[in-house]
Amino acid sequence: MSKKLKGWKEIPMGVMITEPGNSVEFDVRSWRTYKPIIDQIKCTKCGMCWIYCPEAAIMIKEDGKYEVDLSFCKGCGICEKTCAPKAIMMVKEEAV
C-alpha cells in the first residue's frame, strides 16, 4: 500500500465512505498467486477479458492493446477462461 493509512480521527464517522471511487487506492497485488500474461500476437482484441474481469483490472491502451493493471488484479483467472484464442495464460507469481 503506497498511500499513508488514515487514523481513527481522520476517517469519516460511522463506517462511511464519502469519496466515491476510492477503491482505486486499494492495492490487492499481494492477494494473488497467479498473474495473467497476455500474448499480444494471439490476442484478437475481442474484449471478452475486459468485459468479464470482475475487478476492471484490464485496460485498453490507446493503441488498442489490452493490458492488465496488476495493482488491482487478484489473480482469479476468469480472463484466461474467457479468452477464446487462448492468448491469456495464468503464470505463477514468483515467490517474494
Three-class secondary structure of residue 90 per DSSP: strand
Taking contact as CB under 8 A, which single stretch among the options 10-18, 37-45, 47-55, 74-82 is the one that binds another protein?
A: 10-18
Question: Among residues 56 and 91, whose Cβ is nearest to another protein?
Answer: 56
Q: Which of 14, 62, 63, 96 binds another protein (CB under 8 A)?
A: 14
Residue 54 touches another protein, criterion: CB under 8 A? no
Residue 84 touches another protein, criterion: CB under 8 A? no
82: Cβ contacts below 8 Å, ≥ 6 apart: 48, 49, 51, 52
Closest Cα partner for 34 from 83, 85, 84, 78?
78
Residue 29, C-alpha cell as written in the block: 497485488
Question: Among residues 20 and 64, whose Cβ is nearest to another protein?
Answer: 20
